């Protein structure tokens, strides 16, 4: 099931200079921000927007969402305003927030921009967008919009990754620990350690790819759409994302200690060295469970960019035919900024 990225004739989307799109002169910015990270961060963001955008004579509107259940609706309304006024929809937050706002931008057909405000910021870092708030805000005034790849699982979009099995459980436990001990990478690491040391079950999945079906038994199925994240865990297929493909990773059935060792390999950037990991690239796969008598489980828990949802089986993972137009640095600068 391996599909080497080098076999495709497609040029990397991120390096397609000819497809870059300049913004309309004076295009307004419609910023949607998740207030979950605290009032201080909201006030800081507003002050920088007023100084950098207002100071440059550019119109902007900041919508602060205090209830996460209202984020999607707020993003859709802002996207419609951006479409009417020939403007840009901007997401301010972590990858989960950015994905929700990006989906609204993609649906409305308007350019999307990012103000990174999360813990890991894989999406912005992969595209060379500065983590510094002042720098990322200044970028809005000079950047062009480049088409970038997004993925879908059924009708749910993801910009970094999607997964089922143990990985969503890791994310749920991480949020619980963050609420108790604060948001930091150290808290995330300890949370993952405690989750991995607990007992977990393996999934039996049927994965259909290019007309062939393979039965896979694994604790988790992880689908990556982020070159930086895939490189950090040491996946040889990481560059495939630039050629219109997604990367699937599934650890083979192992015990808790072996699973912990796999995780440590990933943290050290050596996951693909292990014989206990199956991986392949694809543009579309279907994932189902083997049918059993009296089996009424038709839904399964999914994580997309850190957000949990229940989706109907079978699952279809695919690359979106329509790219997202992202404001980002010029290709050479973006590559130099990746970290």
Mean pLDDT by 10 residues, the chain (339 residues): 42 56 93 86 96 97 95 98 98 96 98 93 96 97 96 98 84 64 61 61 90 91 96 92 96 64 56 77 95 68 93 97 96 82
pLDDT at 97: 96
Helix (H, G, I), strand (E, B) or coil at 3: coil
Nearest CA to 102 out of 61, 142, 148, 154 is that of 148
| One domain, residues 63 and 191 | no
Residues 74 and 134 in one domain: yes
- DSSP at 24: P
pLDDT at 1: 42
- Sign of the C-alpha dihedral, residues 10, 13, 15, 19? positive
Q: Which residues contact 137 (CB under 8 A, 6 or more apart)?
A: 48, 49, 52, 53, 115
Distance between CA atoms of residues 9 and 237, nearest Å: 16
Whether 88 and 30 map to the same domain: the answer is yes
Structural domain includes residue 3: no
Q: Domain of 44?
A: 8-149+322-337
User: For residue 252, what is the DSSP state?
Assistant: P
**How many residues appear in the chain?**
339
- Could you tell me if 257 and 144 lie in one domain? no
> Do both 64 and 187 map to the same domain?
no
Residue 24: CB atoms within 10 A of its CB come to 11
H or E element at residue 280: strand 277-282
Handedness of CA 18, 116, 160, 110 (dihedral sign): negative
* CATH number for position 307: 2.60.200.40
Dist CA 31 CA 114 (whole Å): 9
């Amino acid at each position: 099931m391996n599909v080497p990225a080098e076999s495709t004739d497609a040029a990397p989307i991120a390096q397609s200079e000819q497809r870059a799109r300049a913004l309309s002169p004076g295009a307004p910015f419609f910023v949607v921000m998740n207030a979950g990270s605290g009032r201080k961060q909201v006030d800081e963001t507003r002050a920088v927007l007023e100084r950098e955008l207002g100071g440059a004579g550019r119109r902007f509107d900041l919508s602060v969402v205090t209830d996460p259940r209202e984020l999607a609706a707020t993003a859709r309304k802002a996207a419609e305003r951006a479409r009417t006024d020939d403007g840009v929809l901007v997401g301010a937050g972590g990858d989960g927030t950015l994905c929700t706002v990006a989906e609204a931008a993609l649906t409305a057909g308007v350019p999307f921009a990012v103000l990174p405000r999360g813990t890991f910021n894989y999406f912005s870092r992969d595209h060379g967008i500065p983590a510094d708030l002042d720098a990322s805000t200044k970028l809005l005034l000079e950047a062009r919009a480049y088409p970038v790849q997004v993925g879908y699982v059924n009708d749910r979009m993801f910009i970094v990754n999607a997964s089922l099995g143990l990985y969503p459980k890791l994310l749920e436990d991480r949020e619980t620990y963050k609420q108790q001990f604060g948001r930091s990478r150290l808290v995330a690491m300890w949370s993952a350690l405690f989750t991995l040391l607990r007992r977990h079950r393996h999934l039996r999945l049927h994965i259909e790819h290019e007309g062939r079906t393979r039965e896979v038994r694994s604790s988790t199925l992880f689908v990556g759409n982020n070159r930086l994240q895939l490189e950090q865990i040491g996946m040889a297929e990481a560059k495939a994302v630039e050629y219109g493909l997604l990367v699937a990773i599934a650890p083979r059935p192992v015990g808790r200690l072996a699973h912990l060792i796999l995780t440590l390999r990933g943290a050290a950037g050596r996951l693909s060295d292990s014989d206990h990991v199956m991986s392949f690239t694809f543009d579309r796969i279907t994932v189902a469970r083997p049918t059993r008598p009296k089996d009424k489980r038709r839904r399964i828990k999914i994580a997309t960019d850190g957000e949990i949802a229940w989706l109907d089986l079978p699952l279809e993972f695919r690359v979106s035919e329509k790219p997202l137009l992202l404001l980002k640095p010029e290709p050479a600068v973006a590559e130099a900024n990746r970290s």
